[in-house]
Amino acid sequence: MNKKQRKIYDAIFTEAIRYNIPWDDVVILIESIGGTVTQGDSSRVRFDLDNFSLNIHSPHPQKELKRYQVKAIREFLFKARINP
């Protein structure tokens, strides 16, 4: 994980849930820690990491995650034992 990816990781796990995290940065983070990202129909995306998966819609038309998406990704990373 490089410095930028660590910054995104830290943003996901901040106490107050942030809503301005760029979607593309989260995709790169998931891939950098060994996960896979699969594009489904329309805006549906599947993250797979250590036998855990998360189905989520990519944000549109904006590029930043909504708070509920950040919370879902945080829980996904925690379940996969990728925690702060």
CATH number assigned to the domain comprising residue 20:
3.30.920
In a domain, 71, yes or no: yes
In a domain, 38, yes or no: yes
**Domain carrying residue 62:** 3-79
pLDDT at 15: 86
pTM of the model: 0.87
- Find, among 43, 54, 57, 7, the residue nearest to 28 by Cα: 7
Q: Rounded to the nearest 5 degrees, what angle is found at the Cα of 11, between the Cα atoms of 49 and 58?
A: 55
pLDDT in tens, 9-49: 999 998 888 888 999 999 999 999 999 999 998 899 999 99
> How many domains, in total, are found in the chain?
1
In a domain, 54, yes or no: yes
In a domain, 84, yes or no: no
